[in-house]
Structure formats: structure tokens, C-alpha cells
């Protein structure tokens, strides 16, 4: 396999042919924020939290998508890219409404690491949660539309229950034909919960189970993947 040399934040590094800036940085233990990318889910390029500067180019590049080229000089720390990434994270915090279900979510961790302020933008209105599923709660207000749950449902589990509905600001994750999650074909495997970087999809726990009028079948009762509730 051919190896390329490039510079990232002043360090000369090697990259494998076809590797992206983000993949090469991670292999060398260098942290660049990322939310919509996960190694097993492919590139979506929609969150823009991984922006970096490539010397000689006016536009910022998405590190999850841009392949390393020989001699490339990349700046991730400081400068314009870091400022823009911080702003993106502040917008995502506002979009997620400042009331994330998981306080240790990936969005929270990256926001803290990048010095993003929670109070810079007014939070979006918080829509009602979908608690129709006995195992998984859907807090649409915390969703940043990264589509990781959609890709995890399809490519990891092969279930194809999750998709996107609507356009622009009205776009949202949808179950089957935009049904309540509890009325969809979701089997409660928890893969989407594991994939969600904000806590918009989270184990429902006892509250939703108490609300549920009937128990439901699941492929993985007590599977440990995400739901961690016993359902029948």
C-alpha cells in the first residue's frame, strides 16, 4: 500500500492511499471533532463539525470526506477552521435545545473540547417527545439530523425502519411512513440509540414502559446494545 506524507498542525504524518484527513488524524491520535461520521457508517458530510483549513485553498474542507494528498498542509487547531467549527457546534447545541438526554453525549463532549458556548444562540423550540415505543424514547428536539441512526438501522442491522421525512428546517427522522415509533416495525434492537450522538434516541427505561399499554416483541431482550430493558 502506498504511503503519502502530509502536514497536520505542523506535524509531518503519513497517510495511507485513499485515507481521509480525519482517518489519518485519528490513526495518529489527533482529535478532530466529528458527529455525522462513524467508521462503520460511511461519510454523510452533513454536520460540518470536522472542518479544517487546507493551505492554498479558500474554502474549508470536511476532514471526514477530504482525502489526503501528497504534500498537503492542513490546519485543524486554531485559525479560521477552529472558529467556524466552534460556531457550528454552538448552532448544533441550540438546535439540540440545550436539554440533551445524555449529558455525556458526543455533541456535549466535542462542544466542551472546542470551547463552544451553550448560550450564544437561542435554543430551538422543543417539540413533544415520542414515547410511543416501550424501549426507546425519541426526543426530536435533540436531533441534529446527522442521519447516523438511519444509516445504523440500514447498514448495521439491515432493518430499514428509519429514514428522513420533510425538507429543510422541517426535515426529521421518521419511522416507516412517518409513524410514531411504537407503531412502526422497529424491533427495539437499540442500534439507533448507540449511533445517536446527542441522546435524541435514548433508552426509554421505566417511564415509557409504564406508559406502554402492551408489551412488544423484541429481537434482543436484555441485549445490552442500548435498550437494556426487558420486553416480551
Question: Whole-number minimum distance, CB 128 to ligand FES, in Å?
Answer: 28
CA pair distance 52, 215, nearest whole angstrom: 48
For residue 10, the minimal CB distance to ligand FES (Å) is: 22
52 scored as a contact of ligand FES (CB under 6 A)? no
How far apart are the C-alpha atoms of 230 and 232, rounded to whole Å? 7
The answer to the question of residue 89 lying near ligand FES (CB under 6 A) is no
Contact in structure between 120 and 88 (CB atoms under 8 Å)? no
Half-sphere exposure of 72 (CA within 13 A, CB side): 23
**Chosen residue from 8, 24, 47, 93 binding ligand FES by CB under 6 A:** 47
The owner of cell 435545545 is: 97
Interaction of residue 110 with ligand FES, rule CB under 6 A: no
Which region, judged by CB under 6 A, interacts with ligand FES, from 33-41, 113-121, 135-143, 181-189? Answer: 33-41
Of residues 126, 150, 116, 115, the one with CA closest to residue 36: 150
Q: Using CB under 6 A, which of 62, 82, 135, 137 touches ligand FES?
A: 62
Residue ranges that bind ligand FES, judged by CB under 6 A: 34-37, 45-50, 62, 64
Amino acid at each position: 500500500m502506498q504511503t503519502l506524507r502530509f502536514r497536520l498542525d505542523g506535524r509531518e504524518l503519513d497517510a495511507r492511499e485513499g485515507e481521509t484527513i480525519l482517518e489519518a488524524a485519528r490513526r495518529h491520535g489527533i482529535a478532530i471533532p466529528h458527529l455525522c461520521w462513524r467508521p462503520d457508517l460511511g461519510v454523510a458530510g452533513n454536520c460540518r463539525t470536522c472542518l479544517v483549513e487546507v493551505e492554498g485553498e479558500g474554502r474549508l474542507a470536511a476532514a471526514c470526506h477530504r482525502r489526503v494528498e501528497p504534500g498537503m498542509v492542513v490546519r485543524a487547531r486554531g485559525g479560521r477552521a477552529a472558529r467556524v467549527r466552534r460556531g457550528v457546534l454552538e448552532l448544533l447545541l441550540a438546535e439540540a435545545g440545550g436539554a440533551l438526554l445524555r449529558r455525556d453525549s458526543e455533541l456535549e463532549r466535542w462542544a466542551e473540547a472546542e470551547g463552544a458556548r451553550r448560550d450564544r444562540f437561542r435554543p430551538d423550540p422543543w417539540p413533544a417527545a415520542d414515547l410511543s415505543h416501550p424501549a426507546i424514547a425519541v426526543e426530536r428536539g435533540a436531533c441534529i439530523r446527522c442521519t447516523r441512526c438511519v444509516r445504523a438501522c440500514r447498514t448495521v442491522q439491515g432493518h430499514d425502519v428509519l429514514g428522513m421525512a420533510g425538507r429543510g428546517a422541517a426535515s426529521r427522522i421518521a419511522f416507516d411512513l412517518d409513524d410514531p415509533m411504537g407503531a412502526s416495525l422497529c424491533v427495539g434492537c437499540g442500534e439507533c440509540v448507540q449511533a445517536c450522538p446527542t441522546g435524541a434516541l435514548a433508552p426509554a427505561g421505566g417511564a415509557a414502559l409504564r406508559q406502554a399499554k402492551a408489551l412488544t416483541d423484541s429481537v434482543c431482550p436484555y441485549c445490552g446494545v442500548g435498550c437494556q430493558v426487558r420486553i416480551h
